[in-house]
Amino acid sequence: MLQSVQKAWNAVQRKDKKLRGSSNGIIGGYHMWLKAQTQEITWFPKLGVSSEEETEVPEESEEVQALKVELERTQVVKEKFKTAAIRVRKECDELRDVNTTTATTLERETKRARKEEWGRNKFRGALWGSNSELKLQRAKRD
């Protein structure tokens, strides 16, 4: 079918070149010739107009009707699964956000606790040093 269209179009193009004048203008009668050439193509009118035979819908067998009913049921089930999947995806995203927030907060609190521990240890060291200094002074005095 495609090859016949290509052959017809090539023929139209060749004759089109013959019908054009030296100024590339269209010589009279070209449109009539083009219409005559396209009327020779048998499949062309069938593209635009559908016949009454094609519009008639054949009766469906019981098997086809049962398959259509089954298809509708499966589409309903598919929609239910789709909505469930969307709901689960949203819950998963919310939990991921909560998890990320919790992890960030935990990390921040851990840093703060380490800084406090470091400060306590530094203070303990200073107290230990001053306590040992006081012990030495007491020992001197006694």
Domain membership flag for residue 6: no
Domain count, the chain: 1
Domain membership flag for residue 20: no
Domain membership flag for residue 19: no
Q: Digits of tens for pLDDT over the chain (142 positions)?
A: 888 888 887 777 766 565 555 444 555 566 677 777 777 666 655 554 444 445 555 677 888 889 999 999 999 999 999 999 999 999 999 999 999 999 999 999 999 999 999 999 998 888 898 888 889 999 998 8
Output the pLDDT for position 49.
Answer: 45
Q: Are 17 and 10 in contact (CB under 8 A)?
A: no
Output the pLDDT for position 71.
Answer: 93
Domain membership flag for residue 136: yes
Query: In this structure, what DSSP letter does residue 20 have?
Result: B
Domain membership flag for residue 133: yes
Domain, as residue range, for 129 = 81-142
Domain membership flag for residue 119: yes
Residue 26's φ and ψ, nearest 5 degrees, are: -90, 130
CA–CA separation, 100 and 108 (whole Å): 12
